[in-house]
Amino acid sequence: MNTAYDTTGSPRTFAQIGTVGFSERFWSALRERRERRRVQAALSGLSDCELLDIGTTRGEIDYVASHRDSDPRGIQSAG
């Protein structure tokens, strides 16, 4: 089995390295799912008029929650 060394000089096998990557991806995906559900719940609680005020419809809630970092209208933020 091949061995790699971490920043402290301790040997780690490639199996251990892969496990750490999987664990980080798992927790990241879990956080993303929770955030997406939080956004969906918040948007679902708005009235149709309020949704139109922010430029979306009830049918677009799932898309907006899944693509929070992109604006479907192509508008760039000033930040």
Supply the range of the domain harboring residue 48. Answer: 36-69
Provide the pLDDT for residue 33. 95
The answer as to whether 27 is a domain residue is: no
Backbone angles phi, psi at 40, to 5 degrees: -60, -45
**What does the pLDDT average to over 21-37?**
91
Q: Are 52 and 58 in contact (CB under 8 A)?
A: no
pLDDT at 75 > cutoff 90: no
The answer as to whether 41 is a domain residue is: yes
Work out how many domains the chain is built from and give that number. Answer: 1
Q: Which tokens is 57 given?
A: 């419809």
Backbone angles phi, psi at 3, to 5 degrees: -125, 135
Nearest to 64 by CA among 72, 74, 75: 72
pTM for this entry: 0.61
The answer as to whether 31 is a domain residue is: no
The answer as to whether 6 is a domain residue is: no
User: What's the DSSP call for residue 46?
Assistant: S
